[in-house]
Amino acid sequence: MATLKQIRQRIRTSKNIQQITRAMKLVAAARLTRAKNRVEEARPYSLKMRDFMSSVGGAGELPEHPLLDRREVKKTCLVLITADRGLAGSYNTNLLKTAQEYLDNSEEEMSLICVGKKGAQFFKKRGYNVIQEITVPSVGAGIEDAQKVTAAVTELFTSGEADSIRFCYSKFVSAITQQPQVIQLLPIEPPESEEAESGASKDYQFEPAPTELLGLLLPKYVLTVVLQSMLEATASEHGARMTAMTSATDNAGQMIDELTLTANRVRQAGITTEILEIVGGAEALNG
């Protein structure tokens, strides 16, 4: 059984851990609030862009554009968004598992762009083809980070180095719920509209010309999807970390209570032993 000194040392260690996890929880909670607000602010614009693409898709055959180029898929690039750090519960693990299942079940040649160190470290150790690593600030992704990722994937697709671009990220639902998913980014496929589903189509007159309009619209649409994905991933990471640190803080508190109770029992047992020794010694002297 541990000595009283050892138990007290463990209590001090547990208290130090509890202070660290509580501080990390507070930081994650503050960052989550900002990230959640950014996600909620960006979603209406993202939905409007999606609705607009649905409307354009209902106009019938679209003019040729590099981002709409559908060709036989021989090479696919998966963009994986993970965190740079751990201590976020199962956030990174779930993303890595989802990405690995997709990679292993794909028949075409696969490559990876890893946004976040955890994904790059995991797949490099296992021999996967990681062609690029991109880091984002710990406070979360911004428009500049989204532009960097958009430029990288657009160059890959338009140059023919990849026939398809997929995104793997975690969609933010709540602080305790994040949903890893894989979506197609390129080639752009306009979302199904109600007109397309019903077999009807609308006659659109484009101003400016369709080619010029798509030249402006499609890159913005890609950037919007990338930015929304990165914002969702940032909120998911902070939510998962806050939940994990809350659990760790509570567990540390329970351990401190249990160790304190054990320390009190050991101390009382030591006092009882000393009293018995004194009584025994006194009886021996009297005898």
| pLDDT tens readout for residues 93-144 | 999 999 999 999 988 999 999 999 999 999 999 999 999 999 888 777 888 9
DSSP 68: G
Over 50: is that where the pLDDT of 285 sits? yes
- In order of start, what are the domains of the chain with their CATH numbers? 26-192+203-242 (3.40.1380.10)
Q: What angle do CA 179, 182, 185 make, to 5 degrees?
A: 130
Whole-angstrom distance, CA of residue 229 vs CA of residue 220: 14
CA triple 245-137-170, angle to 5 deg: 60
Strand order, beta sheet including 164-174: 130-134, 109-115, 75-81, 164-174, 177-186
Q: State pTM to two decimals.
A: 0.83
CB-based contact 224:150 (threshold 8 Å) = no
* CA 72 vs CA 42, 154, 171, 194, 287: distances in Å: 33, 17, 29, 28, 103
Q: What is the pLDDT of residues 168-218, one digit of tens each?
A: 999 998 888 899 999 988 888 765 545 445 445 556 666 666 677 777 888
* CA distance linking residue 28 with residue 31, whole number of Å: 5
